[in-house]
Amino acid sequence: MKNTNNRIIIFDTTLRDGEQSPGVSLNIDDKLQIGRQLEKLGVDVLEAGFPVTSPGDFEGVRTLARELRGVQVTALARAVKKDIDTAWEAIKEGEDPRIHTFLATSDIHLKYKLKKSREEVLELAGEAVKYASKYTSNVEFSAEDASRSDLDFLCKVFERVIDCGATTVNFPDTVGYAIPWDFARMIKYVMEHTPNIHKAVLSIHCHNDLGLATANVLSAINEGARQVECTINGIGERAGNTAMEEVVMAIKTRHDCLPYETKINTRHIAATSKLVSMLTGMVVQPNKAIVGANAFAHESGIHQDGVLKERTTYEIMNPKDIGLSSSSIVLGKHSGRHALKAKLEEMGYQLKDDEITRVYERFKVLADKKKEVFPEDLEAIVAEEILRIPEKYKLTYLHVAGGSGIRPTATVALEIDEKEEMAVSVGAGPIDAAFNAVSKIVKTKSKLLRFTVNSITGGTDAQGEVTVRLQEGDKVVTGQGADPDIITASVRAYLAALNRLAYKN
Ligand code: KIV
Ligand code: ZN
């Protein structure tokens, strides 16, 4: 029987599956900032972490459950009591908290990983859900590796867990193996052969190993799945998870084929993507659908001509719908604070007065150096200013000498507790020299985990946007810097990260 309810529940797992991306590690402040943005974006369910895995994860989940409202905060737990107890402890202060427990159902996982029979797995799944239901009626069960499981066995497991109290049953394509029409066939089978499926929401969770995650999700919705598990920018384990922005914008843009509704306020998509990219250090590929820098850029003369005559000749979506400005030239050096504030609001940023003042000061400096200031430039400034925490180390002077035949040398001065300290250092290149000079002054023991540079817009006067990720002991922090001078941007990013470390100590 077809599912006639057309509301799609958006379950965001950026902070759990997304955080499982290689090299990503978010601290509690980062998680809270992303959580608040996801709340604004309008996600229905937010998976905040896997609390049993570490005390840090537990604290992160607990903080989000306490702080966020209007969203169901959930936490992951294996189908064992200890995990379920810990997950509940972390989420119990949330609004309508959900326990998300999982167990693999494919023969390959049963044989090699779990070393259990189907009968044992069926029992364990039911028991885990029963146990979780003692805490809350909002329980989700995921059949890990569902897409490689025997479908009749899977239906039995779903039937059992629904009988035991699961209100959502999730069908993950854990290894990204599914092909859209075959995935649709499997979802249809589950809908037709799980006798009590109408008592639960059928969810899907697709990985992107073959680049088919979004296609698989859309084909599953068509067969009755009503919850989509996804992440911002598609980050996640290995090749990632389904990108939320792709699913949401596909539904919005092709409503003729996809007559469904979500609660997402799409105008916050660009800002959310930017924030997640900044804090995770995972750069969005320029040609990424919806949120890539080139997603609304038109290079060919024929396309540019068409768009100027009528935008819809080559644009199927309005950039404004995801929170981007449609005008390419935004503000110049004569623009005032009011114009900047209006532009920022149009881009989806609601900043406090002191934040606007800081952004305005940076904007004026940039507008003096750069012919045109684009929305992307403003986004970089906003990200840097808003993520800023009290500055222990302030850059007061930077001079770098380099070039062919010259040993790169940097002179750096920092203001620390109202006193200026200076150092000179050499390095493999000018950025290395500048970093060496900074660490001479700060005497940091931190290790550089990641250094990424991105050009924000085209042209040689474009701002460079740098992300630096540092580790000191068990603390991992990220800093960002943006400037038309790439060395200045790098030093700013390095200092932002060092300031975060100092703030945490
Ligand atoms: O990919 C997967 O199977 C998962 C589950 C834990 C839902 O992430
Ligand atoms: Zn997953």
Q: Hey, whose CA ends up nearest to atom 1 of ligand 1?
A: 174
CB 18 within 8 A of CB 241: yes
CA torsion angle 269 275 277 281 (round to 10): -170
- For 228-234, what is the mean pLDDT? 98
Identify the pLDDT of residue 329. Answer: 41
Spans of all domains in the chain: 9-280, 297-387, 393-504
Q: Hey, whose CA ends up nearest to atom 8 of ligand 1?
A: 17
Give the ligand with the smallest distance to the CA of 242.
2
Rama region for 256: left / alpha / beta (φ>0; ψ in -120 to 50; rest): alpha
The fold for domain 9-280 equals: TIM Barrel (3.20.20)
Higher pLDDT, 438 or 21: 438
Burial 115-153 (b: 16+ CB within 10 A, else e): ebeeeebbebbbbbbbbbbebbebbbbbbbbbbbbebeb
12 alpha carbon to ligand 1 midpoint, in Å? 13
Task: Give the confidence band of 223 by pLDDT, cuts at 50, 70, 90.
Answer: very high
Identify the pLDDT of residue 390. Answer: 75
Task: Give the confidence band of 388 by pLDDT, cuts at 50, 70, 90.
Answer: low
77 alpha carbon to ligand 1 midpoint, in Å? 11
Ligand 1 atom showing the smallest separation from residue 172 Cα:
3
395 alpha carbon to ligand 2 midpoint, in Å? 42
pLDDT tens-digit series, residues 411-458: 999 999 889 999 999 999 999 999 999 999 999 999 998 888 877 666
Evaluate: CB of 465 within 6 angstroms of ligand 1.
no
List CB-based neighbours of ion ligand 2 within 5 Å: 17
Q: Judge residue 446's burial from the number of C-beta atoms within 10 Å of its C-beta, 0-12 exposed, 13-18 middle, 19 or more buried.
A: buried
Please say if the pLDDT value at position 328 is more than 50.
no
Please say if the pLDDT value at position 319 is more than 60.
yes
Mean pLDDT for the chain? 92
Evaluate: CB of 16 within 6 angstroms of ligand 1.
no
Question: Tokens representing 489?
Answer: 């941007």
Question: Tokens representing 142?
Answer: 């995921």
Please list, in sequence order, all residues whose beta carbon lies within 8 angstroms of the beta carbon of residue 402, skipping any fewer than 6 positions away: 408, 409, 429, 430, 433
Q: Minimum mean pLDDT among 14-18, 90-94, 320-324, 478-482: which range?
A: 478-482
Q: Where does 393-504 sit in CATH, by number? A: 3.30.160.270
- For 118-147, what is the mean pLDDT? 98
Evaluate: CB of 102 within 6 angstroms of ligand 1.
yes
Question: CB count, 10 Å around CB of 210?
Answer: 15
Higher pLDDT, 327 or 227: 227
Residue from 74, 340, 364 nearest 227 by CA: 74
Identify the pLDDT of residue 299. Answer: 67
Ligand 1 atom showing the smallest separation from residue 146 Cα:
3
Identify the pLDDT of residue 422. Answer: 97
Instruction: Quickly list DSSP for 202-214.
Output: EEEEEB-TTS-HH
Please say if the pLDDT value at position 12 is more than 80.
yes
Task: Give the confidence band of 387 by pLDDT, cuts at 50, 70, 90.
Answer: low
CB 170 within 8 A of CB 147: no
- For 129-150, what is the mean pLDDT? 98
Residue from 480, 489, 482 nearest 30 by CA: 480
- For 360-373, what is the mean pLDDT? 85
Rama region for 211: left / alpha / beta (φ>0; ψ in -120 to 50; rest): left
478 alpha carbon to ligand 2 midpoint, in Å? 24
Report field, pTM of the whole predicted structure over 0.85? no
53 alpha carbon to ligand 2 midpoint, in Å? 16
